[in-house]
Amino acid sequence: MREEITKYINECTICGQTKYDRNPIRPQFNIVPPATKPFEIVHMDLFTAQAEKYLTFVDSFSKYGQAYHLRDGTAISIIQGLLHFSTHHGLPLTIVTDNGTEFTNQLFAEFVRLHKINHHRTLAHSPNDNGIIERFHSSLLEHLRILCLKNKDEPTINQIPYAILAYNSSVHSFTKCRPHDIIRGHFDPRDPLDLNLAEHLMQQYIITHRDQMKTVYEMISEATTIDRTNLMTNRNKNREPETEYVPDQQVFIKNPLASRQKLAPRYTHDTVLADLPIHIYTSKKKGPVAKSRLKRVPKTSKLLQVPTNTEIDNDEGSRNKTLLNF
């Protein structure tokens, strides 16, 4: 009877949508292949400070960051900001954005297609997928708070360039270099964190400069790969292997409204169409759904087996017999 009741509850759609998941799925992180040179992979996002919008960029290789003021968040303004960035650093091979409407509209799609830019969009409600630029925003806010305290009468829009300069001139914890140095190919020999290059690279012949920068890029790429592997290994210690799903399997997906509305269902009911690494496709959602947003499939609970009086008597008899033998 207990097993039948448990099975009925586990298969109940209303129970699946409304009850909390006390043990949410925590899939292991996957290692993403790192960039091998500056501006090969660039992360983009919108940043708002004091009601002013900025289009922000972070180079995946050097961690170089930049921000451009926008009049508004329309597709035209986004494209103009991307063009502004490209006039300084060239068109990137790949850009990574979230699923915001400013990056998923037809105009932006045509622009990246025209310039042969690969556009990778992260999964909805998965901020870790674009964590590089989220960390940049956090550092940018720290610098802005300091600047605003020291210059209270200065508008924020005038403080942004100084915050960007401070960020790009600081040694990054991942690359152990300053972002400015990596993209310029010039390392100050007076810097205690110099990579032991004999002279200013800008004073070398072009072929020497090319060979030395190739060595630097290889060093950074190798160090980044090792650090990323160690980081993922540590983070995955308390996480579980990725769950596999089959077509037509019933699943429950976290409802984003639940965090703002107490009476909203915790999950929405859906059906699996296809299972892929990291995410799945369902019948009701237009795009991919991260597996970390799915509710764990409940396990079938079993009754505690209480021994009968006959089993207790037999157990005591065997125990007494053992004692007599001693």
State the helix-helix crossing angle for 131-150 and 156-168, rounded to 10 degrees.
Answer: 120
Q: How far apart are CA 301 and CA 32, in angstroms?
A: 38
pLDDT score at 201: 43
Cβ–Cβ < 8 Å for 167, 179: yes
Size of the chain in residues: 326
241-275 burial, b at 16+ Cβ within 10 Å, e below that, comes to: eeeebeeeeebbbbeeebeeeeeebbbbbbebeeb
Question: pTM for this structure?
Answer: 0.62
- CATH classification code of 2-25+245-293: 2.30.30
Q: How far is CA 176 from CA 151, 193, 265, 286, in A?
A: 30, 7, 46, 41
Residue 189's pLDDT is what? 46
Token pair recorded at residue 127:
């901020």
CB 168 within 8 A of CB 178: yes
Tokens 């940049």 belong to 136
Give the CA count within 13 Å in the CB-facing half-sphere of 4: 1
Count H helices, E strands: the chain?
A: 10, 9
- H-run or E-run covering 194: none
Domain regions of the chain by residue span: 2-25+245-293, 41-235
Q: What is the pLDDT of residue 11?
A: 73
Phi, psi of 120 (to 5 degrees): -105, 125
Cα 1 vs. chain centroid, distance in angstroms?
Answer: 45
* Cβ atoms of 203 and 227 closer than 8 Å: no
Angle formed at CA 126 by CA 83 and CA 98, multiple of 5 degrees: 15
pLDDT tens for the chain, residues 1 to 326? 777 777 777 778 777 777 777 777 776 666 567 788 889 999 999 999 888 999 999 999 889 999 999 998 888 999 999 999 999 999 999 999 988 888 989 999 999 999 999 998 887 666 667 788 989 999 999 999 988 888 888 888 889 998 998 899 888 887 788 888 888 775 554 444 444 444 444 444 456 656 666 676 777 777 777 777 777 778 777 888 888 888 888 888 888 888 778 778 888 889 988 888 888 889 888 888 888 888 887 765 555 555 666 655 666 656 555 544 55
According to CATH, the topology of domain 41-235 is Nucleotidyltransferase; domain 5 (3.30.420)
Can you state the angle between helices 106-114 and 75-89, rounded to 10 degrees? 20
